[in-house]
Structure formats: C-alpha cells, structure tokens
Structure 1
Amino acid sequence: MPPIDLKPRSAVIAALVLSGLVGPTPSIARPADDAVDERVFVGYLFGRPDDLDFSLYTHLCHAFVTADESGRIRPSRNVPDADLTRRAHEEGVKVLLSLGGWGWDEQFAAIAADPDAEDRYVEAVLTLVDENDYDGIDFDWEYPDTEQEVEGFERISRRFRAGIDAIGRRKGRPMLLTMAASSNPGTLRWLRTEFLLEVMDWVNVMTYDFAGDWTDYAGHHSPLFASSKVPGGRRPSTEATMRYLLDERMMPADRLAVGIPLYGRGFAVSEPYALTEDAPELPIPRGNYTNLHRLLLEEGWSRIWDEETRTPWLVAPDRSIVIGYDDAESVTLKTQWAIDRGFRGVFFWQVAADRLPDGGHPLQEAARKAFTGR
C-alpha cells in the first residue's frame, strides 16, 4: 500500500481557505503553536482505575460522565475522580473527562434542544473539570447526524472550549478539547472541517467495529488495510477512513489519532469472510484480549494471519467460530503506520482489556514500543 501523501499543516489550511471550505484561520484555532508536534498515546479508562501503568500513556480519557435529558449529571461511582488526576499528574500524564459515549445520543440531542438544560449541563461539566483537576474534555456525542443536532453539538463544544480555556488561564496551563468520531464516512460527513480545526485539539477516530453482528459477512472489525474478500462494493479499513479524512475532508494528519481496539468480534462460521446469513446461533466467547489470549494458550484455538489486512484471526478447534482481533504484531504495525504517516498518535479502547494475570498489557506495551522507537 503506497504511503499517504501528507502536506504540511500550513499548506492544508491554505488549501482549505482557497477552496472556500474554511475562512481565514480563526484566532482560536487549535492547537496552540507549541503543541502541534506533541504526539499522543491515549488510553480510555472505563471502570475503576486500579493498577494503572501510567508509564504507557501521555493522556487518559476517563469514561464516562452521563446526564439525563434535563442536563443533570447522573451519579457514578467511578467518575469523576480527583485522586486519579492527582496520581496521573505525578506521573506526567494528562487526564480528560469523557462525556457520553455510545448510546447517549438521544440525551445529548435533548439537552441541546433545551437552553435551560444546556446551561445546566455545560456548567456542571465545567465544574467537574475544575474541581477534580482534569486537563480538559473528551466530548463523545455518538453521533450528531441531523442539522439541528450538529448545530447543538458545535454550540456546546464552543462553550466547552471557552470554559476550559478560562479554567486553564486561571490554573496556568493549557487545556484540551477532543472528541471521538465515527470511522464511517456517512457519519463523518456531518462534521465540518472548519469547526474541527477551530475547536478541537485533535479527533480520536474510532477505526474499529467495521464488522460485527450487524454485517452479513464475517469481516475483521479493525483491519489496517481492506480485504479483497469482503463481499459487495464497500471494503472498509483503517487506512481507507484516514485517507478519506486527509484527502477528501482535508484534515491535517496531526489533528487525528488512530483508534486501536483491545477486543475482537466473532462469528459462528468456519472461516473469515464467510456469509453469516445461515450461521447457527452459538455463544461467542468474550472478545477482550485477556480472554482471547487464554483461548489461544489454553483452549486449543489457532491463530491465522491475514497478510492483506495485517491483522490476525482466532479459529475454534472445531472451526465453528472465527474471531477477528488485534495482537502484539498487528498493534505494532498499526502504531508504526500511524506515526510514519504523521498522525497525532493512537488511542485504545479500553485500557483494562489486554491486562493479563501477571499484570502486563502486551498489546499496549508493544504499541508503546513502536510509538517511542525503543
């Protein structure tokens, strides 16, 4: 696969201005000049922050804060956590407060449609960031996909931007605003390039879940490159999504982070890319890497490598189930690919999913080695 032709950020902005896709670079364009070259190695922390290896990360996204339709924050045992931010800061790691996540689209839409709810929500979130010493916000509205929702998403994001920047000025440090974005161009089209460059420090592109129980074939859910075996016309991949954002949406590479899943997705078929229409209803093993590693070592499952997609598969001993997943080899390749092509970095969902009984995180450790070059 030929390398992506990356233009310098200044050339990209100039091209956008000339094409009419954006106006002159806004005075609050992100990121600040001294942060452009900062690479990121981000972990999404979902659940209790036990036994975290802070040395792996530059940033953590602490997930999730949720709210009801009136903008009132829902209680959570795990988020926010001032002790987490304190310990992370001692290790030189920044922590962002993640909002929403999958399944909270309707609540966000309702909040944005009610000015009182929006005021209540924005104020509550900024208070959590300030009082618990987070380094910013990761806004995971999945996904604004109507004109009204996009208008609300952009308005709330700008309010978050102004609010965290005010907190940062008071605390004497820069603050961050990021978001999680779909890997599907049909969903990504709702996000305006001008807005992203104006407001977001970078975008976490969820380059996974390309296949699953919603597809009619057993595809790998996070291929680096597309497979010629995928039936039909559209052959999704990490590379295809990132190329779309660079070439068609003119997003600078240094404003995009590549998503790497620490889990797999399985199908009750005998081989990868088989059609699933007549597949039997079999229990699929848990997909987190911790369990997949056990299947490989203890349950007689076999690993096969897909050279075309640069990702592995697990096959059950009786060939009744196949699982597409990532292992140390594939995450090393993905991370090196992302760095070589100038992307801001990589991120992982979610950090506990590759934890082994000995306390190691073999996938994230392999990716970190590729990230640092040592």
Structure 2
Amino acid sequence: YAFFLSLLGLALLLNCQLGSAYLLTCYFTNWAQYRPGLGRFKPDGIDPHLCTHLIYAFAGMSNNEITTIEWNDVTLYQAFKGLKNNRSNQLKTLLAIEGWNFGTAPFTAMVSTPENRKTFIASVIKFLRQYEFDRLDFDWEPGSRGALLRTSTSFIILVQEMHEAFEQEAKQANKSRLMITSAVAAGISNIQPGYEIPQLSQYLDYIHVMTYDFHGSWESYTGENSPLYKYPSDTGTNAYLSVEYAMNYWKDNGAPAEKLIVGFPTYGHTFILSNPSNTSIGAPTSSAGPAGPYTRQAGFWAYYEICTFLKNGATQEWEASQEVPYTYQVGYDNIKSFNIKAQWLKQNNFRGAMVWAIDLDDFSGTFCNQGEFPLISTLKYALGLQNTSCTPPAQPIAPITLPPGSRSSSSGGSGFCAGKAKRLYPVANNSNAFWHCLNGLTYQQQCQAMLVFSTSCDCCNWA
C-alpha cells in the first residue's frame, strides 16, 4: 500500500510537470469594470489557472513617481494578490505603466535627468513591494507620436538603472528580484526610431511585441488586425505589417528569441464599406464600424461582440494567405487562427504568447458557445500549459481509490499499460480521454470539456 501511494504521488508530480516552458501572459484592463451588463469584468472573474502571468493595466505617473489611476485600483490590486494565492504563487503578476493615453511628455521628462529617474525607480520598488507585484511592465513606445529620437537612448538608460536597482534591492532585502518587461511596437515606423534593440534586450527580462493593430479604421481600406503573414498584394510599408515580419525583425536585430513574446488580440477592428458589394481585403472604406454594445468604441469589437455579429447571420470568410478570418466588415482572430499562430510560435522558438486582453475574450462563455475564455484556452492548450497549475499533495493522508480498471494491480503491470513505456496514450473510441502509463500502472484521465487528447503534442487541444 505504501509503495502504491508513493507511485501515485510520483504520477501526480509527473503529471504536473508535463507542462511546458512557454509563457502565457494576459493583460487585464482596469476600465473593464465600467462596461455595462455582461461586458463588465473585474479580477474576481479571472481563472487563476488560465495564464502563467497576469498584467494589471494600468498605473500612471505623477511628479516622476508611479501612482494609481482608478479610484479603486488598490482594492483591485488585492484581488490580483488573491489570484496568486490560488496558484501557490506559481502565478506571476505584473503592473503595467502606460504611456499612450496620457502621451509621451511625462515619460520624456522623467527619463531626461538622473534625478528624475532615481525618483521614479525608488517609487516603483516601493509600489511593487507594497502591493506584491512581481514585475513592472512598460507600455510606452518611445518612437511614437513624434517623441524625440534621444528618448530611445534615455529609455535604455532607465531600464538599465532600474535593473541594477532591482538587483541591489533584492540582495539587501533577501527577496526575489523584481523583473522588467516592456510592451513594444510591431510597426517598423515605430520600432526603428524608438528602440535600440540589442542594448534594450540586455536589461528586459521579456519583450511583449504588440503584433496587432496592423490595420484598422484609421485607414481608408479594410485589413486584418493581426495577420500571421502579409497579404500577397501588399507592397511598400504594408508588406511589413504581419506577425511574422515583426517578430523576425525583433529577433534578427538583436532580441533573443527566448525573450520574445508574441502578441495575440482578443478583439477585432470594424469598418463601414464604401461599396457594400466589394468585400475583399483592401476594399475601400468610408469610416469606422459602429461601436459594440459593451466595449462602446467605434471601429473596435471584443471577441464576444464579434460572436454575436456572426450569430446574427454575418458571413465568415477565411483568408488563407494570412491565416486569419474576417467577415465583410470585421478583421479579427478566432480559435483556428490562434491555434495556427501558436504552432508557428513554437516552430520559431519564441518564448510565449501575450494576450490583449483577458476581458475581451468570451470570459463568461455566453456569447460564442465555445466555453469560457475560448481564445485564451486555445493558447493554454496549444502551448502545453494545461498541467502547470496543478500542485501534487505532499503526502496522501488517506487511502486513495481509483475507478475500476484505472490502475494496475502491481508494479509488473496489468491492464492497458502492461509492458508499455512510460508516457501518455490515446483511449480508443474516446477522444476526450487518455491513458497515463507509469511503471506499469494505468491511470485514465480526461481532458476538459470540448477538448481532445492529441498525440502530436501529448496534450489536450481543440479538435
């Protein structure tokens, strides 16, 4: 009996370690709490086992110090902390400081002098420790909105000084080092003036490439939000607007692949066609599409709003050259395109996926009939992360009874796993189940609803 319990504990431990080294980083936006009805979302709606890293967006800055933005940020911070407790601290949380909505001026002023940078860094350390975040994420594009070219160099200096301060603080406090990540541009027009890639890559722990918003209602023609590959007829700068080109540009210009995170959008961009009979990619448009009932932003729909549009009879097309879907007025992503991109990510040895945003997926499962968080769940299983959240018991304290036929009677083996190598096997006539063979013992396990066991990755995946 003791021997069996030790084997069972080992089996549970091995099952927990079947996960991968990929990261799945998900942004939460603190303004999602203001959406009406079923669109309202707060941290208590987050599945703590869904993502490996959660980023709280956003914090702000005042007088060269990091600060809250929303009236209840501190309360929501505590909810984030609670999510970590549910994962035995395997979940890592980050606090993102933004630079888009309030412009580049505050950042430009902060990085301009050693004194301002020192003030900012000290405030960040105090803030992150106080609210128990593990990392800081910069959401600032130094090459955007006409920012001065010198700010790219100042940004590198800031990140270097912050990295050194984080290391010193960790040694003095005998704690794990705080880490630094950054969401960076995917468009060449912003990358080239905004980043000195080799130098920046030395001091950032991970680099979140925002491989979305390649096309949208700010243009006078339709285009995909986040195409994996360029459209065949694209020329000039449009030929650079794809996930493949952007990720390879960062890698080829000095960013290590093991630090690069590919961006995945859980939303799409909408258009009003100039000629309703012309529905192709690149068709002329007259304006942004109507705002969604929950996100309430012209030209922008959450995935769950797109599902409603499709249910109401919209025609869905697949653009094979770019590996993404579209309807006649929306460029977006779905489960199929997420899975294809995830396989491409793995083939190219990038470190993981970043999602904008967790509150734009069908988090309630009521709109798309694909379960809760269908897009992010696709990434979780495609990246082999389905077992990273389990924690094996330190020691069983009571007899454990498995269903009949679920285990063998001795270490010599019997039943399905007798004489078989230690690995996972499909169950005949039950695509949702799989056998886990360990030292001749047989364990039958189930994938989550709507998933099937795949021998190509030894994981549960979408059919």
Q: Aligned residue for 2:266?
A: 262
1:124-163 equivalences under 5 Å are 124-144=123-143, 145-163=147-165
Q: Percent identity?
A: 25
Deviation, structure 1 residue 280: 5.6
Q: Quick one: distance in 2 between partners of 1:164 and 1:133?
A: 14
Mapping of 1:207-226 within 5 angstroms?
A: 207-226=211-230
Task: Give me the TM-score of the superposition, normalised by structure 2.
Answer: 0.66
Which of 1, 22, 28 in structure 2 is aligned with 1:39? 22
Change (3 A) 1:172 1:273: same
- Residue of structure 2 equivalent to 1:97: 95
1:50 aligns with 2:52: no
Change (3 A) 1:50 1:225: same
Query: In structure 2, the residue corresponding to 1:179 is in which secondary structure?
Result: strand
Q: What is the DSSP-based 3-state SS (H/G/I as helix, E as strand, rest coil) of the residue aligned with 2:281? A: coil
SS class of match (1:301)? coil
One-letter amino acid of the counterpart of residue 357, structure 1:
S
Residues 1:244 and 2:249 aligned together: yes
Cα shift readout 1:343-374 (whole Å, capped 9, x = no counterpart): 01010001110124337000001111111042
Shift of 1:174: 4.1
Q: Which amino acid is 2:350 matched to?
A: F
Aligned partners of 1:205 and 1:258 also within 8 Å: yes
Q: Does 1:62 align with 2:60?
A: no
SS for the counterpart of 2:176 is coil
2:270 touches 2:289 (CA, 8 Å); kept in 1?
Answer: no
Which deviates further from its counterpart, 362-371 or 134-143? 134-143
Match of 1:24 in 2: none
Residue 344 of structure 1 pairs with residue 351 of structure 2: yes
Distance in 2, Cα, partners of 1:129 & 1:72: 10
Which residue is equivalent to 1:367?
379
- Aligned partner of 1:183 among 183, 186, 189: 186
Q: Specify the alignment match of 1:292 in structure 2.
A: 306
Of residues 143-152 and 251-260 in structure 1, the stretch that sits farther from structure 2 once superposed is: 143-152
Aligned residues of 1:61 and 1:98 also touching (Cα < 8 A): yes
CA distances 1:51-82 after superposition (whole Å, capped 9, x unpaired): 11121111111111111354462443225714
- 1:304 aligns with 317
Counterpart amino acid of residue 302 in structure 2: N
Q: Is the 8 A contact 2:211 2:243 kept in 1?
A: yes
- Would you say how many aligned residue pairs link Structure 1 and Structure 2? 329
Residues 237 and 155 of structure 1: is their aligned pair in 2 closer, same or farther, counting only changes over 3 Å? Answer: same
In structure 2, what is the Cα distance between the partners aligned to 1:40 and 1:252? Answer: 15
- The one of the two structures with greater contact order (alpha-carbon pairs below 8 A, sep at least 6) is 1
1:81 to 64, 68, 77: 77
CA distance in 2, matches of 1:253, 1:210: 22
1:237 is displaced (CA, Å) by 0.5
SS state of the match for residue 56, structure 1?
coil
Q: 1:70 to 1:177 in 2, by over 3 A?
A: closer
Structure having the higher strand fraction is 2
The Cα RMSD (Å) is 2.3
Kept after mapping to 2: 8 A contact 1:126/1:160: no
Structure 2, unaligned runs of 5 or more = 1-19, 31-41, 293-299, 366-370, 385-456
Distance 1:281 1:59 in 2: 33
Unaligned 5+ residue runs, structure 1?
1-36, 316-321
Q: Which amino acid aligns with 1:127?
A: K
The equivalent residue for 1:274 is: 282
* d(CA) in 2 for partners of 1:67, 1:162: 21
* TM-score of the superposed pair, with normalisation by structure 1: 0.81
SS of the equivalent of 1:134 reads coil
Q: Give the deviation of 1:148 after TM superposition.
A: 2.5
Change (3 A) 1:356 1:295: farther
